[in-house]
Chain A
Amino acid sequence: MRARYLPVVAFAGLVVAIQLATHFTDSAYHLTQLTMTAYYSLLIVGLCMLIGYAGQISLGHAGFFAIGGYLSAFLTTHNLAPHQAGALISLLSKSGLLVTRSDLYGGSLLTVHPWCACVAAAIVTVAIAYLVGGPVLKLRGHYLAMATLGFGVIVYRIVLGTEFLGAADGISDVPGFPLLPGLEIAGKSSLRVPNYYVAWGLVTLGMVLLLNLIHSRVGRALVSIHGAEDAAGAMGIPTARYKLNTFVLSAVFASLAGVLLTHYNGGIGPSEASVMKSVRYVAIVAIGGMANLWGALSMSLVLNYLSLRGYLGSFDDAVFGTILILIMLFAPDGLLRRHLFSDVKRLVTGSAADEEAP
């Protein structure tokens, strides 16, 4: 086994250890927030890939999260029964893409199957990400930050102002996401433990994927783009294409996180699309050390959990703002940057500081 996967194993061990700890201390209710944390973490590792490795900031990732979540929520709750006579609907129905289920009041609902909704959400996200990413990623610095922020605000305003997306109330009564017979992604307390493992299993899968990507030719190309884009271009790296593909990849991560969390929570509201959420994701990536997937993941675990459990109270946003400023002022490479240990060693031994490799 290569050294790259050792942390993965350690991480899986940690996940199991947390579950066992909550089991023996009789505090299994913590698992609900931990499962939600897992889905946010999925978004954050994807964003870490974009910010840390490709060097492109995005202040609009809550937008992609919301696109996934809202699409899936809308498709799986919108009743198609009145349009059943239509050719398209009956075609979809015959090909098994629709499901019939009963709603809260016993009436029957004809909706899109969650799996199809998920695939649709992913496809739409890819399309939007290519559409937005193409021109946006030509920008740099302030312009890039503002453009992605603008994208996030547009998504927020649209979900807030659109009647069939529930306006300020969002969409509720979203059904569970069936995985296997008897196992679905839903917030039922009987399924708490399996859901916890499913969620963190997905995060682990995502991590393995990204770790492999980083250590491949593509990953090295991305690091060189981050270091010096012009130089990377001169070396024959198709910088624009690599940046765009990373952007789309991280958007898909965000969108899938949105889909799954929406099914887990049984609903989604416009606050998921707000700018503050995007800023929070960037803050977590920054604390984790920008180009450090494990750092981002561990910080996401800690901070999202604290915030979801409500330990930060009404100072929630202020805490993230403060963290953001402090990190950027005193440790712009992040708290858990990759050369932390060697830096500490160098400080202790007192040898002259030489230039860090990026």
Chain B
Amino acid sequence: MAGITYGTIYAIVAIGFNIIYNTTGIINFAQGEFVMLGGMSAVTFHQFMPLPLAILCAVIVTLLIGAIIEIVFIRWLHKPSVLRMIIITIGISILIRESALHVWGESVRALPYFTGTSVTSINLGGVYVTPQVLWVVGVSAVAVAVLTAFFNYTLLGRQMRACSANRDAARLCGVNAGNMVTLSFMLSAAIGAIGGCVVCPITYVQYDSGTPLAIKGFTVAILGGLGNSTAAVGAGMILGILESFSIWVLPTAYKEAISISILLLILFVRPSGIFGSSEASRLKEF
């Protein structure tokens, strides 16, 4: 079950990557920091308000931070090179992490379990799981469903997809491409924050917990094929389960090395991802 929990959070980070990649062609290296920010600010808000309200506030705060980042750093750049964007987003992730260190300190925090406690368990056909795992999987499933519906059935979602398909054409049709990019950063920050909130009772959260998540989220995004959010969910499960099995074979300290080796392997052998088509990826620009 630990595999599925971690797999879900990796999938959420990967979806965050995909949303921004789809509208801008940028890989946002600060994606893991959104998850950290969501978890950290939810813990802080929970000191003054009930849990659901605290989570809502945390998501809104992270969403606003996402918007600010886009407006301050990304929006006014004219056709930036890929190298430049990589370095800028890495810089942003460092800034967020260091600010978090100065605001919250080095202590490890966690939200309480949403229902029950850490010892409560539910019998699911012979397997005992804590209710929080169900929360993680449930909330993530809802988030993915809502996102899919948003992109397919709402005007705004369709406009965003239009931007990713052909920015100039979208602009000619009256879509404000700049706002769509801001919106994609907000969406991706929000989904990261939701993920951070639901998972932090189990995994805990610390100022530097974003970077490993970003790397694994990227692994999952590549595994599923960059830009393909449904495949990312499957890929997330695969990575999470592989990782939890690797503990049987190798010491826990190498857990992260395992998943990154998988990333390297995928990049070397099949950069289009296991679910993607290599024909399509050749046409994309990295």
Contact = CB atoms under 8 A, between A and B. Distances in A.
A and B interact physically? yes
B165 to A, nearest CB: 20
A317 B97 CA distance: 9
A228 B164 CA distance: 26
B123 interface: no
Contacts of B267: 135-136, 139, 143, 146-147
Interface of B: 27, 73, 77, 80-84, 86-88, 90-95, 97-99, 102, 211-212, 215, 218, 222, 251, 253-254, 256-257, 260-261, 263-264, 267-268, 271, 285-286
B90 A318 contact: no
A64 interface: no
B93 to A, nearest CB: 8
Contact of B215 (A150, A162, A332): A150
Nearest to A142: B27
Nearest to A275: B211
Contact of A322 (B82, B91, B211, B271): B91
9 contacts: A57-B83, A146-B215, A150-B263, A153-B260, A154-B260, A283-B91, A317-B97, A324-B94, A325-B95
Contacts, number: 114
Contact of B98 (A143, A145, A315, A325): A315
A138 B264 CA distance: 12
A36 interface: no
Contacts of A142: 27, 82, 86, 286
B22 to A, nearest CB: 14
B275 to A, nearest CB: 17
B286 A161 contact: no
B88 A143 contact: no
Nearest to A140: B286
A157 B256 contact: yes
Contacts of A247: none
A195 to B, nearest CB: 32
Interface string A262-289: 0000000000000110010011001000
Given A135-B268, A141-B286, A318-B94, A328 B87 contact: yes
B84 A153 contact: no
A96 interface: no
Contacts of B90: 59, 279, 324
Contacts of B211: 275
A294 interface: no
The interface centre, meaning the residue of A142, A151, A276, A325 with most chain B CB atoms within 10 A of its CB, is: A142
Nearest to A157: B257
A135 B267 CA distance: 9
Given A139-B286, A141-B286, A321-B91, 10 more contacts: A139-B267, A143-B271, A146-B27, A149-B215, A158-B257, A321-B92, A324-B90, A328-B87, A328-B91, A329-B73
A160 interface: yes
B99 A154 contact: no
B87 A282 contact: yes
Contacts of A154: 257, 260-261, 264
A153 B256 contact: yes
Nearest to B92: A325
B164 to A, nearest CB: 16
A59 B253 CA distance: 22
A196 B77 CA distance: 43
Contacts of A141: 82-83, 86, 285-286
